[in-house]
Structure 1
Amino acid sequence: MGGHMHEPGNRRSNGEAIQLRSVSRRYGSGHSTVTALDQVSLSFSQGTFTAVMGPSGSGKSTLLQCAAGLDRPTSGAVTVGGTELTRLNETELTLLRRERIGFVFQAFNLMPCLTAEQNVALPLRLAGRRPTRARVREVLEQVGLGGHARHRPTEMSGGQQQRVALARALITRPEVLFGDEPTGALDSQTSREVLKLLRSMVDSEEHTVVMVTHDPVAASYADRVVFLVDGGVNGELIGASADAIAARMTRLEAAPC
């Protein structure tokens, strides 16, 4: 399991895109309380690519949801580009997510009746803005789908559909792009193509990407891999190979509860 190895540090950081300070997330109450995140403090610098890994139930998705403003922490603070999410009401939070955050999930979540360009334009239309055809074509070109603007999802491969989902996430020029297993439904070759695309967006466009994954090869495209265990941070690796990441995950999964 070789994988891609990235040497970080070739870009100057412009500051913190996201900060989590002592973030906890608990569900339920009394004896049935489940602590999904336990006093997590993490920061993600602008123009970097971070992978988040951990055994099943370690809090990966909860971390992503709290960092992206999809879920509210029970305690602690989350700041995106200087705005503290925990101080916003639901309307303000919705606007912030719509205008400043992009999402790509394992399921492509495309509208089957719409063409690629219509799917990409959807976030702006939902926000009451009229997207220009030039901007829509620009992001489709960015993800290598300039010639597929009028194709519907059923006329595209899984990898092409995920690229449309990526273009849709980029149309608003988000400060941070969050991915929850974005290559989970793709074969290894197509997965590599999407990961190279994410990597190039960080390198050439200085996007900030935070990706939850279970795949050491996918994680090896990141500058940094953060490991979670039982809702807490359990170290990180910088510029690691897929083999080193896999070995770390094997140790974490084998550790006694």
Structure 2
Amino acid sequence: MNDDDVVRLEALTRRYGSGRTEVTVLGPVDLGFERGCFTAVMGPSGSGKSTLLQCAAGLDGPSSGRVVLDGTDLAALSETARTRFRRTATGFVFQAYNLLPSLTAEQNVALPLRLAGRRPARGEVRRALEQVGLGDRAGSRPHHLSGGQQQRVAVARALVTRPAVLFADEPTGALDLTTGHELLRVLRDLVHSPGERAAGTVVMVTHDPQVAAFADRVVFLADGLLAGELRSPTAEAVAERMTALGRPAAEETAGAPC
């Protein structure tokens, strides 16, 4: 971890149940997500990937340890304050698009601003759609858009509040290979393009080595614990590391920062 981490997980643990039925599904984990970096989180089924993402985004609270998001300790906030903070500091994209079918693309993107009690400024929503290449489809309803276009609208919706970090949970899971790769290029460009287009930071859960290869960095989990990382990953290197997670030594591979 370093001073430029937009998210820091410090001795983070998540347990469920109590007494004899208590199960630790995550941790303890010490991990930072760097500002201006596209990070993929990988691991076998049940390794704690989604739990880590939910805790890092403030959607779920840790059993112990703490989450510092964009300089704010989430444990220091009330539930109401945490919800308000999360609405502006984070964006979230799921495998399902979760668009309201009766609303246009522009109206769907505006929802986070309206939920926060803020009237969108002129052009604000349109700019978010332009970021994902859909500036000309603002008036289209979801049933007139392809699956890939609907997921781009979901990304624009997550970006409209200008979050410090965008969390994505299997964002290409419902897309074909070509469309999924187009979306991943959009996410990568949002992180690395300068100026207004930059999303800042993306943290993505995936099970697919080809998807993870679009990231700058891949963090691996096994049995709820960190199991190393790769920088500038290739699909082959990620697949090899995933295979190695079943063996005793999955050593961390260091590399240049993002």
TM class, shorter-length: over 0.9
Please, which of 230, 234, 239 is the counterpart of residue 246 of structure 1?
Answer: 239
1:1-257 paired onto structure 2 within 5 Å: 15-204=4-193, 205=198, 207-253=200-246
CA contact (8 A) 1:14 1:46 kept: no
Following superposition, the deviation at residue 252 of structure 1 comes to 1.7
Gapped regions of structure 2 (runs ≥ 5): 249-258
Following superposition, the deviation at residue 254 of structure 1 comes to 6.5
TM-score by length of 2: 0.92
Following superposition, the deviation at residue 14 of structure 1 comes to 7.8
Gapped regions of structure 1 (runs ≥ 5): 1-12
CA contact (8 A) 2:166 2:199 kept: no
Provide Cα deviations, 1:85-142, integer angstroms capped at 9, x if missing partner: 1111100110111111000000001001100000000110111100124011111111
**Residues 133 and 76 of structure 1, relative CA distance in 2, 3 Å threshold:** same
Runs of 4+ in 1 over 3 A off after TM superposition: none
Identity %: 63
Aligned mates of 2:128, 2:44 — CA distance in 1: 35
Following superposition, the deviation at residue 251 of structure 1 comes to 2.2
CA contact (8 A) 1:48 1:206 kept: no
Following superposition, the deviation at residue 227 of structure 1 comes to 0.3
Aligned mates of 1:217, 1:132 — CA distance in 2: 38
Between 1:204-213 and 1:221-230, the stretch displaced more is 204-213
Letter in 2 for 1:146: G
Following superposition, the deviation at residue 16 of structure 1 comes to 1.2
CA contact (8 A) 2:35 2:201 kept: yes
CA contact (8 A) 2:167 2:204 kept: yes
CA contact (8 A) 1:58 1:230 kept: yes
Higher RCO, 1 or 2 (CA under 8 Å, sep at least 6)?
1
Please give the root-mean-square deviation of Cα atoms over the aligned residues, in Å.
Answer: 1.5
Aligned mates of 1:92, 1:73 — CA distance in 2: 17
- Tell me the matched-pair count: 244
Match of 2:252 in 1: none
Following superposition, the deviation at residue 253 of structure 1 comes to 4.6
